[in-house]
Amino acid sequence: MARKFTVSPTKLRTFHQCPTKYKLEYIERLGRFYRKPRAGFSFGASLHNVLEQFHTQGGPEAVTVEALTETLASKWQSQGYRDAEQEQAYKAEAVKILAAYHARAVEVPIEEAPVTLYSEKTLNAPLSPEIVLSGRVDRVDQHPDMSLEIVDYKSGREVVEPEHVAGALAMSIYQALLKHHHPEQRVFATIIALRTGSQASHEQTPEEREWLLADCLETAETLRNKDWDGVLPVLNDHCPDCDYLPHCERYWKRQRRMEGYVDES
């Protein structure tokens, strides 16, 4: 049986940002040569791993704040920091974040506390006989009224508004995927800014879900059938933060040389 073509929020977002980046990442698979560790990524991943264990082990009723700090030490990722001083500053910030997170969790009355249904769970749903939509959620909680809440952590953001959740492609896809598996239950999504505790939610309407799935299918068909040989590097707003910028700069340098420009760099 032929393997189905799979698209995810990351794949779709990458293509919308820059087709060349998609080509280098998913077609030519050059990431291992260009992708570099970053402090923010390591910091976020460390917190995600600690909070995953916190919720799967029973939350504040079962896990003390001291235990959270111990888990952080065992889950800490050290890649990407400029030096030991910067890493230590990030680690101290992580301890503060986890203590505040635990304090907020303790304040929720037991009778109102949700139960974690999934943690770091991959959800899939068919878009067509040949295409699958896939997404990995940080956490899904089931509330006493049986509603399902998708929870996503942001370690670099300080403020979250409902429109941020509504406009986040990943959160929209997660809602559509979860609704596919639990059609009879209310589904909504929440983003939590870990540094401040700010959070906001959005519940996708049936019309929003229908439009989203149609758009994902259209983009997936484009990705599946595109002539990638004709996709060449083009300067855009995402270039300064892109790991593949050196690759594209070499291409642009070759093009200038072929066109007769003198390289004075």
Q: Which two tokens stand for residue 34?
A: 């260009």
Dihedral Cα 81, 17, 231, 233, nearest 10 deg: -50
Tell me, what's the pLDDT at 260? Answer: 76
Give the pLDDT confidence score for residue 150 in this predicted structure: 98
Rounded percentage of the chain residues whose pLDDT exceeds 70:
97
Query: How are beta strands 5-7 and 131-142 bridged, if at all?
Result: parallel
Claim to verify: residue 96 and residue 160 sit in the same structural domain: no
Q: Are residues 104 and 141 in the same domain?
A: no
Q: Which burial class, exposed, middle or buried, applies to 91 when counting CB atoms under 10 A from its CB (0-12, 13-18, 19+)?
A: middle
pLDDT reported for residue 34: 95
Q: What is the pLDDT of residue 141?
A: 97
Tell me, yes or no, whether 166 lies in a domain.
yes
Host domain of residue 96: 36-110
Q: Say if residue 198 is in the same domain as residue 147.
A: yes
Give yes or no: residues 79 and 105 share one domain. yes
Instruction: Enter the tokens of residue 207.
Output: 């019309």
Domain C-terminal end among 110, 132, 153: 110
Query: Could you tell me if residue 3 is inside a domain?
Result: no
Q: Where is the domain boundary, 76, 110, 144? A: 110
Q: Residue 144 domain-assigned?
A: yes
Does residue 189 sit within a domain? yes
* End-to-end CA gap in the chain: 53
| pLDDT at site 198 | 96
Mean residue pLDDT across the chain: 95
Q: How far apart are CA 32 and CA 16, in angstroms?
A: 22
Quick one: 100 and 122 in the same domain? no
The SS3 call for residue 65 is helix
- 130, part of any domain: yes
**pTM (2 d.p.):** 0.92
Which of these three, 83, 110, 137, is where a domain ends?
A: 110
Q: Which of 174, 135, 134 is nearest to 3 (CA)?
A: 134
Q: 50 is written with which tokens?
A: 């600690």
- Asked if 147 and 54 sit in the same domain, the reply is no
Domain contains 183: yes
- Report the pLDDT value the prediction gives residue 263, as an integer from 0 to 100: 55
Alpha helices in the chain (DSSP H): 9-17, 19-22, 31-34, 39-56, 65-75, 84-106, 162-166, 169-181, 206-225, 245-258
Answer whether residue 157 is part of any domain. Answer: yes
Distance (Å) of CA 129 to CA 100, 139, 177, 220: 46, 28, 16, 12
Residue 122: give its domain's CATH number.
3.90.320.10
pLDDT in tens, 130-172: 999 999 999 999 999 999 999 999 999 999 999 999 999 999 9
Q: Are residues 118 and 199 in the same domain?
A: yes
Per-residue pLDDT of 223-255, as tens digits, reads 999 999 999 999 999 999 999 999 999 999 999
126 and 202 inside one domain: yes
142 lies in some domain:
yes
Hey, what's the torsion of the CAs at 119, 44, 158, 100, to 10 degrees?
70
| CA–CA dist 220, 173 (Å, integer) | 14
Q: Which tokens is 170 given? A: 């990943």
Q: How confident is the model at residue 258 (pLDDT cuts 50, 70, 90)?
A: confident
- pLDDT at residue 261, rounded to an integer: 65
**Same domain as 216, residue 135:** yes
Burial of 102 (0-12, 13-18, 19+ CB in 10 A): buried
Per the structure, the count of domains in the chain is: 2
At 110, give phi and psi (nearest 5°).
-55, -40
135 contact partners, CB below 8 Å, separation of at least 6: 8, 9, 122, 123, 170, 173, 174, 177
Cβ atoms of 121 and 142 closer than 8 Å = no
